[in-house]
Structure 1
């Protein structure tokens, strides 16, 4: 199977940044480079990968804080999130001060993403679903062949994303999970923005926030 990934926790928030790549071409993308860029680039170099894109699920500081610097230093396009998160991108400098992160460089996404879009790296194509609720512009990346979904802060093992941030919406988040994630299949393993991997089936059975939905 050509699709490969490695999840590397970054920042003091232990955010699950993922390096995804095509084993046939060694072309790679990084999902949510929130910080600790030397750690990420060391993995890329050790694997002999060619980092070609940055993909963002949403624009909270622990997911997007290193994006501007990485894009500038390596000349990489920034893909995502949905434009509903523009105000979060514009507010990254304030977020970095508020949470004690290194100063975040400003950036403008090369491409905004919408529900039903696709992103590709080498021979691998991932489907994009717009899943608002945690933030209005949150997106999820789904690789159907490997049955893997990179869901950012929409869903966690045993939990769901917070909705008490500006423009968060609990009902919208539950709708995103039940209408956009569950149809992918109970067998899908998801990589959340924090914590351990799980499957949609396990969360439907046991997660107290969405059990039985």
Structure 2
């Protein structure tokens, strides 16, 4: 990850430190899934986005996190962005080791439980909130890649006296990537649903400086992707 204005730490995972949150990114498994660990810099509480694979690697990621040099607290929640097998491979092991709650989109929850044996503690719906210590993540339902796919939006606090802040950080799973939306198996109805949700619930709401953290590969920004929306619609995928 390449950033401006935050501390980036080299080593086994990419790190971004905001005023209130630390974000750690690690690619795991044969499909190089991106897992994201969010740590509240005040309380040490943690949320993991997608326990995709390599449970030992993910558990070591928890230990890497810190709060102003002190060890972080505990993993409170694992958010699964959608039900596909490459995003849940380490879920059972991570939950067993940490006793974290599982939060997953309502329409995907039963499939995730059937695949992993882990019951959903929260069935997420559009507009819900997930706490990371003192910070909140907004649930953004992006239907189409799967019926219950969700993204998570974190907005930095606005520092009115400095005129800065308020930027959004968006964890999109497999619903939005650099260069297009997620796979909809060439189903025109699913594609229209996903592109419609991404347009109305993401591009129409959030600014160009919004940082996008996808489920695989490199990060991007909404500003980089916005000029291509019409081309995505025209090509149909």
TM class by smaller structure: 0.7 to 0.9
- Are residues 1:143 and 2:161 paired? no
* Whole-angstrom distance in 1 between the partners of 2:222 and 2:25: 18
Structure 1 length as normaliser, TM-score?
0.86
The structure 2 residue matched to 1:65, chosen from 89, 95, 104, is 89
* Whole-angstrom distance in 1 between the partners of 2:95 and 2:144: 27
Q: Give how far 1:161 is off.
A: 0.5
Conserved 8 A contact 1:149-1:191 = yes
- Are residues 1:55 and 2:75 paired? no
Alignment map for 1:103-182 (pairs within 5 Å): 105-145=116-156, 146-164=167-185, 169-182=190-203
Residues 98-128 of structure 1: per-residue CA shift (max 9 Å, x gap): xxxxxxx311110100011001011111111
- Are residues 1:203 and 2:225 paired? yes
Larger-Rg structure: 2
Question: May I ask how many residue pairs the two structures share in their alignment?
Answer: 197
Runs of 4+ in structure 1 off by over 3 angstroms are: none
Conserved 8 A contact 1:204-1:210 = no
Q: Give how far 1:159 is off.
A: 2.5
The structure 1 residue matched to 2:106, chosen from 83, 90, 93, is 83
Higher strand content, 1 or 2 = 2
Structure 1: gaps (5+ residues): 93-104
| 1:83–1:205 Cα change, 3 Å | same
Q: Taking CA–CA contacts closer than 8 Å with sequence separation of 6 or more, which of the two structures ends up with the larger relative contact order?
A: 1
Alignment map for 1:5-84 (pairs within 5 Å): 5-47=23-65, 48-49=71-72, 50-80=74-104, 82-84=105-107
Partner residue in 2 for 1:190: 212
| 1:210–1:198 Cα change, 3 Å | farther
Conserved 8 A contact 1:151-1:190 = yes
Structure 2: gaps (5+ residues): 1-18, 66-70, 157-166
Aligned residue for 2:232, secondary structure, equals coil
Aligned residue for 1:109, secondary structure, equals coil
Structure 2 length as normaliser, TM-score?
0.78
Partner residue in 2 for 1:101: none
